Structure 1
């Protein structure tokens, strides 16, 4: 039911000790983590640097790192290789790509990357297609992690109209549009 549900499922499901959210960022990931009882660290990107990702600011012992690409609210598009460099054994790297379909060619997307351990990419159909009220999105990642999220999901999380809209938005004609 959209990226907001994905953030809640991640917060409730993943066994994390030191989650970090890179800001400026959509507030839902941090709110979901806090609501699930996690003490959340923040990495604050500097306005003087154009809010560009500085991977050295992310603590080495963070076992969950969440960031948006492009970010909401700054619209900064971080290089995919810089984001991928945050991957570590034992770390989950969550990239919120809810707005990446507004970037021509979706450059810097990590959605197709299978070489980044612990990577979860959250995508949304609600921005480009104007489907915010239908709450439709998806998570890409390792099958075992996705199965754990699905198991924690409530029954019938996505409505029939949302599923029909998702199918329509995924059709060849919609892709061409």
Structure 2
């Protein structure tokens, strides 16, 4: 299993700090969200129904013409490589969420990790290009026009452009969702990050009908639980709640960037949900914060730390105090 943020129980045991005493900034998931809407009893008692309106509501939210709900975008990440014949050449703009490369390698494909600048000279030799946009962990956004140009070149040879937009909800103007019905273009969206409900395990695949049909057959029936469908339909339809959440996250993302900069940790990138800091003592700083019960996401190979958002004012004050007392 690859390393991820959010392993709070493991950190609690390692540092001998009770679970309830931690400030978890390791995940890049919204630390606040909606009150959970009431789930109809039938959602618990019956198998999920596909005519409950979720797909139409989600299409309106994302601006897509068709999509497939899945049990978290991770389910699609693991399944999509099985829709291509083995041995395909798959370029991944790196650094990126590590599960993508792992999934394609596992299914027998040749994975080539590329810098963004190397894509142009490599594109005509690829069968699939995978881009995380905004990037995780750097926050880098690639403009829509450039992505659509890459897609056109790939699709002309039967290739795919796969875009993971897990962190796109606070900047939807940059999304390729409206173009996702184009052949050879696949867009992944995460529900849990923006709505602050990672435990619901829900995501969406936006693509042309033929691709969605093949993926649905591979994943099988009832891929998403009835309660998850009911909760998601309610929240995806709450336009005013989404506006407020987007505004709050954008404000807090800027607040985090400013706070870190004021204490000598100016971010090298980020999104509304996280900020990435590069530091030659990243490993030591990760340990310093952990000993104070503040969990960060460490990228040891690149000497970077990812800071997520505190969920309340007490969390902000706790982080600020730790920054003030940080060893020079």
TM bucket normalised to smaller? 0.7 to 0.9
The structure that has the greater radius of gyration is: 2
State which drifts further: 30-39 or 110-119.
110-119
**What aligned pairs does 1:73-84 form with structure 2 within 5 A after superposition?**
73-84=137-148
Name the residue aligned to 2:227.
161
Q: Structure 1, residues 20-41: CA drift from partner, whole Å, max 9, x if none?
A: 1111111111111111121211
Name the residue aligned to 1:36.
107
**What aligned pairs does 1:37-52 form with structure 2 within 5 A after superposition?**
37-45=108-116
Cα distance change of structure 1 residues 126 and 169 upon mapping to structure 2, 3 Å threshold: same
Name the residue aligned to 2:73.
3
The runs of 5 or more residues in structure 1 that have no matched partner are 46-52
**What aligned pairs does 1:52-131 form with structure 2 within 5 A after superposition?**
55-87=119-151, 88=154, 89=156, 90-103=158-171, 106-113=172-179, 116-131=182-197
Name the residue aligned to 1:24.
95
Q: TM-score, normalised by structure 2?
A: 0.48
- More relative contact order in 1 or in 2 (CA 8 Å, sep 6+)? 2
The answer to whether the 8 Å contact 2:180/2:186 transfers is: no
The runs of 5 or more residues in structure 2 that have no matched partner are 1-70, 245-328
The answer to whether the 8 Å contact 1:43/1:57 transfers is: no
- CA distance in structure 2 between the aligned counterparts of 1:83 and 1:116, rounded to whole angstroms: 13
Query: How far is 1:166 from its partner?
Result: 1.4
- CA distance in structure 2 between the aligned counterparts of 1:128 and 1:13, rounded to whole angstroms: 28
The answer to whether the 8 Å contact 1:84/1:116 transfers is: no
Name the residue aligned to 1:48.
none
Cα distance change of structure 1 residues 54 and 101 upon mapping to structure 2, 3 Å threshold: farther
Query: Post-superposition, which runs of at least 4 consecutive aligned residues in structure 1 deviate over 6 A?
Result: none
- CA distance in structure 1 between the aligned counterparts of 2:177 and 2:126, rounded to whole angstroms: 22
Query: How far is 1:114 from its partner?
Result: 5.2
SS of alignment partner, residue 199 of structure 2: helix
Q: Structure 1, residues 88-130: CA drift from partner, whole Å, max 9, x if none?
A: 2211110000100022xx1221000157541101011111111
- CA distance in structure 2 between the aligned counterparts of 1:161 and 1:170, rounded to whole angstroms: 14
Name the residue aligned to 1:50.
none
Q: TM-score, normalised by structure 1?
A: 0.86
The answer to whether the 8 Å contact 2:160/2:184 transfers is: yes
Aligned length: 168
